[in-house]
Homo-oligomer: A and B are copies of this chain.
Amino acid sequence: MQLTLIVEFHKALADLTRIRILALLKQGPLHGQAIAGKLSLTPPTITHHMSRLRDVGLIKERRDKNTIYFSLNENVLESCATAILSIGKGEKNMDMSVTAEEREAIINNFFSADGKLKTIPAQRKKRLVVLSHLVKGLEFGKIYSEKEISDYLRSYHPDYATLRRELIIHQFMYRKDGRYEMNPPELWSQG
């Protein structure tokens, strides 16, 4: 995981109000005004903090009529919180860098002649190469609907749901409200 991503995560938690919000959301989903009430703050302030938390992927949301229920993405919380424990060390055992030759070999190996993805690699390094290859078929800066992303991925492999989730987990894409957008390459788990 990149250092800047680790920094952004810790910035998101470097505020008492946001830590309080996380503690509340640990108990279960809450809507904005409920959070504002519990913390004695105004709704705009909560909006501000939720978007800080959302920016690093910590927040899931569900809409019901006019009310948005926010909840905590525990997976992201855990993986980001423990990322700092692996910096500088994990690189020894898990070298995620690949040469251009390796990359080409992996892509040739996992994609068939007609461009379809034969299987989703189980090995992390290979999976990252495959994911970065897939994401390069999208347009940077464009906002996609979930259906568009699913259709695009399905054109490569039937298990589009796994691919879609992996693109998010490994920060190739950013998701918000069912809208998908490519992340800049410096956020990717691997170039």
Which A positions have Cβ atoms within 8 angstroms of B? 3-4, 6-7, 10-11, 13-16, 19-20, 22-24, 26-29, 71, 74-75, 77-79, 81-82, 84-90, 92-94, 112, 118-119, 122-124, 127, 158-162, 165-166, 169
Q: How far is the CA of A24 from the CA of B4 in the complex (A)?
A: 15
Contact partner of A7 among B13, B81, B92, B124, CB < 8 A? B13
Note all chain B residues with C-beta closer than 8 A to A27.
Answer: 88, 90, 92-93
* Chain B contacts for A166, CB-based, 8 A: 122
Docked-complex contact A159 and B6, CB < 8 angstroms = no
Contact (Cβ within 8 A) A89 B16 = no
* C-alpha spacing A29/B93, complex, angstroms: 8
Interchain residue pairs with CB less than 8 A apart (12): A7-B15, A7-B16, A10-B11, A22-B84, A24-B88, A26-B88, A71-B93, A75-B124, A82-B169, A86-B161, A86-B162, A93-B160
- CA–CA, A10 to B26, complex, Å? 18
- A23 partner, pick from B74, B87, B162, beta carbons under 8 A: B87
* Number of this chain's copies in the complex: 2
Query: Which residues of the partner chain B approach A112 to less than 8 Å between Cβ atoms?
Result: 122
Contact A122 B75 (CB under 8 A): yes
| CB closest chain-B residue, reference A26 | B88
A22 to chain B, nearest CB (A): 7
A90 to B84, alpha carbons, bound, how many Å? Answer: 22
Sample of 13 more A-B contacts, CB < 8 Å, known A3-B23, A6-B19, A122-B166: A26-B89, A26-B90, A27-B88, A28-B92, A29-B93, A75-B122, A75-B123, A78-B169, A81-B81, A82-B162, A90-B162, A93-B161, A112-B122
